[in-house]
Amino acid sequence: MKLALVGDIGGTNARLALWHDQQLESVRVLATADYPGPEAAIRAYLDELGLPPGAVDSVCLACAGPVGGDLFRFTNNHWRISRTAFCRELQVRELLLVNDFTAMALGMTRLRDDETRVVCEGEAEAGRPCVVIGPGTGLGVGSLLALADGRWLALPGEGGHVDLPIGSPREAELWQQLYRQLGHVRAEDVLSGGGLLTLYQAICALDGHEPHLASPAEVTAAALAGDTVALAVIEQFCCWLGRAAGNNVLSLGARGGVYIVGGVVPRFAELFLASGFARCLRDKGCMSEYFDGIPVWLVTAEYPGLMGAGVALQQAFEHGQV
């Protein structure tokens, strides 16, 4: 493989790196708000490394949103990309676009032992799919399956936009409050960085608290400092994440395990590990025992989506797809 570039582009940040000898090199994180589009961000990145146009032969970008056709509009930022115009402007031979959670799922195949924490003990069943789910700017959901030829198949989807599950009378009351605020209530409306603040506001409105926190970061900081309302927000967040993850396990038959990813949960990892997540994951009535022995991990790796973009590009090269 000639010199290649990989990117993991979310709503807030664009993570870029060179892909060389199946490893990431020269990782940089750029704010999407600072650039009019991906071409400008990549030009700035290459300029910093002293690489001229045409130095990179192939590019794989993991993008938040459904990927298909020549024109792609990013879900959670102002960027858009035309494959044809991108290749012409940057003098790139091949551009591979993959869904961001396809890349995130593929990134799970390269995790080191020190890049995960065990949430639920268990043994992954060979030949069964895994669920990869993670709150970040939005809620990403993907799945991963090992193929017989040694490749990995990651199935993209838009599972963050499913309806928020309700599993208790308290959650039904919260859902009604959220519905009054939002109308249709998606899982992503709560299970995301911004969703922490939305959930905080809903709990304050329902329980008669005067809201004094104004950002997701403030909610997290207050919870870590012992604020009782903020702690209730984190607990409910974790419980709803468990219900959403459990729904995906049942839908996919995902006895290969569950990976909790994204930038939100690691910020309150100890609270998450002590929360009702595991209880709500398996709170499925007559199907609760299905979850016995299914392992769950919290992923703490710094750039799993970026690594997954490299894996996607590597597999495409090895099987003649680019």
Predicted confidence (pLDDT) per residue in 183-210, tens digit? 999 999 999 999 999 999 999 999 999 9
Shared-domain flag, residues 177 and 289: yes
Shared-domain flag, residues 89 and 116: no
The H-or-E segment that residue 258 falls in is strand 258-260
Alpha-carbon distances, residue 47 vs 50, 242, 247 (angstroms): 5, 43, 45
d(CA 134, CA 8): 15
pLDDT for the residue 158: 84
**Residue 18 backbone dihedrals phi, psi, to 5 degrees:** -85, 145
Shared-domain flag, residues 95 and 119: no
Predicted confidence (pLDDT) per residue in 2-27, tens digit? 789 999 997 778 999 999 888 999 99
pLDDT for the residue 322: 55
The count of other CB atoms within 10 Å of the CB of residue 202 is 27
The count of other CB atoms within 10 Å of the CB of residue 141 is 27
Coil, helix or strand at residue 22: coil
d(CA 209, CA 190): 19
Range of the domain at 80: 4-105+303-318
8 is in an annotated binding site: yes
Shared-domain flag, residues 85 and 140: no
7 is in an annotated binding site: yes
Whether the per-residue pLDDT at 143 is higher than 90: the answer is yes
CATH number reported for the structural domain that contains residue 53 in this entry: 3.30.420.40
Task: Give the total number of structural domains in the chain.
Answer: 2
The residue behind tokens 């195949």 is 109
d(CA 300, CA 263): 9
Shared-domain flag, residues 193 and 70: no
Shared-domain flag, residues 130 and 272: yes
Running DSSP on this structure, what letter comes out for residue 180? H
d(CA 56, CA 49): 12
260 is in an annotated binding site: no
Q: How many CA atoms lie within 13 A of 13 on its CB side?
A: 14
Predicted confidence (pLDDT) per residue in 67-88, tens digit? 777 888 876 678 889 999 999 9
pLDDT for the residue 72: 85
d(CA 315, CA 272): 34
Shared-domain flag, residues 50 and 165: no
Shared-domain flag, residues 229 and 95: no
Instruction: Specify the pTM.
Output: 0.90
- For 213-226, the DSSP string reads --SHHHHHHHHHTT
Shared-domain flag, residues 84 and 147: no
**Cα-Cα-Cα-Cα dihedral sign, residues 60, 62, 67, 69:** negative
The residue behind tokens 């939305």 is 198
pLDDT tier for residue 40 given thresholds of 50, 70 and 90: very high
Shared-domain flag, residues 72 and 119: no
CATH number reported for the structural domain that contains residue 174 in this entry: 3.40.367.20
10 is in an annotated binding site: yes
Shared-domain flag, residues 216 and 292: yes
Shared-domain flag, residues 36 and 142: no
